[in-house]
Structure 1
Amino acid sequence: MRKRVFFVLVLALLLTYSALASASSPQSFTIQVQASGVVVVPPNKAQLWVGVETDAETPKAALDTANEVIGRLLDIFGQYTTPQLVKTHEFSMYANEQWDETVSKFVARGYSVRHVFEVHLLDLDRVPSFLDDVTNAGANVMYGLQYNMFDYREPRAEAMKKAMEEAWWKAGAIAEANSATGLVLENVNEEMYVYNPEVSLASLVDEDSDAGFAQFPLQVTATVTATFRAFLPEN
């Protein structure tokens, strides 16, 4: 009997303590919002793929012809950019095989070499002259001209700041509508998107621009999913 009374007394004390703790702790709830910030910036880097593809009767002849053009291209690359901004994107040598009815099998009818570089240029005003120079040097592979940023950190930070300002505003409006008096940020997940249009070489020249270069602005968007904790006033 005593043990039973003691157990009931302890249980009552625990329930009382729990009720007091709940009463003394402010009630709260979470708010999760999504927001985005957009920054439009001019590009400061051009990127494209330039190279040569040669055909010859022998592997050596095809490679020698390609190396001759590559040597001229490398000299031109050095006039427009730094070695750190040039890298080999593709290199291949292969036989051009055709079906021979007389022997009933594929036989080599010459050989081809393809060598393509990925090139980044930081002086956008010189892009048109770069294209002319590499073409005159023998480049017959040229594609993928794009304009983007050399470093996205500054516009990304600005876009992120705008997104967080919107997130705080949204969360604050929800908190106020629910009579909350305090708001604390608990967690943020962020993603960045860049609208980076790929354009054709023919659209590069702007007739109204003295530099002959058409500006293609970039849109940097930061999207955040933010979780807040809102606190209700004590009763």
Structure 2
Amino acid sequence: MRQLSALALAAALALPLAATAMAEEARVPMINVTGTGTVEAAPDVATLSIGVTTQGETAVAALAANSAAMEAVMARLAAAGVEARDMQTSNLSVNPNWTGYDSGTPTISGYVAANLLTVTIRDLAGLGPVLDAAVQDGANTLNGLSFGFADPEPLLDEARKEAVADARARAELLAAAAGVKLGRILSISEGAPEGGPVPMYKAELAAAPVPVAAGAMDVAASVTIFYEIAE
């Protein structure tokens, strides 16, 4: 019982001390800066969203036609070098085609089936032929083409290093302008990058093979650092 009382007393005494220490830390003069870093690199992977839309008198007929067309598209993509693991169905729908709204009595005039496929292309040199192969075998919807990196972490690490160096340079500039010196780092936090990577590309479905330019992409990082002002 005495031991418990002693522990309780020690804890009670420690709380004010901890609070005092935190208050002292809060009164430390600081410089707060945010640094950014950007690394530019050529993308090495592309993500393509293509689709097949078909019509039929019945839902079964529309879906059967759609399935046959999508199977042909996937077979052609596989023949072009796209692996099965890089093709994924992202949406499948069958809906009635309503007509006659002007007459005030809408009726169902057949059905529309739509199937979207997300394709990851790891060999950008073959991106144009892959696009051409897809549209030749029934893909009649192109929903988007974007570029990225198979492993962005090394690029992010370089951007983080640049962000820290940028923050340090900003802090030194501010300290020199204020006539003070930088002390130790009190905290570092990573923030969301300003903006996102913007791919630059061109795709024209009128030619074969499709001309596509991946361009370059920026990988950005941001850090916020609190420096102590040395006395």
> Which interval holds the TM-score relative to the shorter structure?
0.7 to 0.9
1:33/1:150 CA distance change after superposition, 3 Å: same
Displacement of 1:167: 0.8
Q: Is the 8 A contact 1:99 1:107 kept in 2?
A: yes
Match of 1:137? Answer: 137
Q: Deviations over 1:158-207 (max 9, x none)?
A: 111001011112223334544336332413232234332364422999xx
1:64-113 alpha-carbon deviations (Å, 9 max, x no partner): 111111111222333433333322222110111122899x6321111110
The runs of 4+ residues in structure 1 deviating greater than 4 Å are none
Q: In the aligned structure 2, how far is the partner of 1:49 from the partner of 1:36?
A: 32
Residue 197 of structure 1, aligned match among 196, 199, 202: 199
CA distance in 1, matches of 2:190, 2:135: 46
3-state DSSP of counterpart to 2:48: strand
Change (3 A) 1:82 1:39: same
In 2, Cα distance between equivalents of 1:82 and 1:127: 13
**Aligned position for 1:88:** 89
Name 1:167's counterpart in structure 2: 167
Provide the residue aligned with 2:108 in structure 1: 108
Deviation at 1:125, TM superposition (A): 0.6
- CA separation of 1:168/1:109 partners in 2, compared to 1, >3 Å: closer, same or farther? same
Percent of paired sites with the same residue: 23
Deviates more, 1:191-200 or 1:36-45: 191-200
More off after superposition, 222-231 vs 112-121: 222-231
Q: 1:229 matched to which residue of 2?
A: 228
What's the counterpart of residue 11 of structure 2?
none
Unpaired stretches in structure 2, ≥5 consecutive residues: 1-26
Q: How many Å separate the matches in 2 of 1:230 and 1:135?
A: 63
Is it true that 1:58 corresponds to 2:58 in the alignment? yes
Q: Which residue of 1 aligns with 2:153?
A: 153
1:125-168 per-residue CA deviation (whole Å, 9 max, x = no partner) reads 10111111111111111131122222221111111100101111
SS in 2 for 1:166: helix
Matched to 1:84, the amino acid is R
Q: TM-score, normalised by structure 1?
A: 0.75
Task: Name the SS for the 1:202 alignment partner.
Answer: coil
Give the aligned length: 201
Q: In the superposition, relative to structure 1, how do residues 28 and 59 fare at CA in structure 2: closer, same or farther (>3 Å)?
A: closer
Partner amino acid for 1:197? Answer: P
Larger Rg over CA atoms: 1
Q: TM-score, normalised by structure 2?
A: 0.76
Distance across 1 between alignment mates of 2:182 and 2:217: 40
Q: Which residue of 1 aligns with 2:188?
A: 187
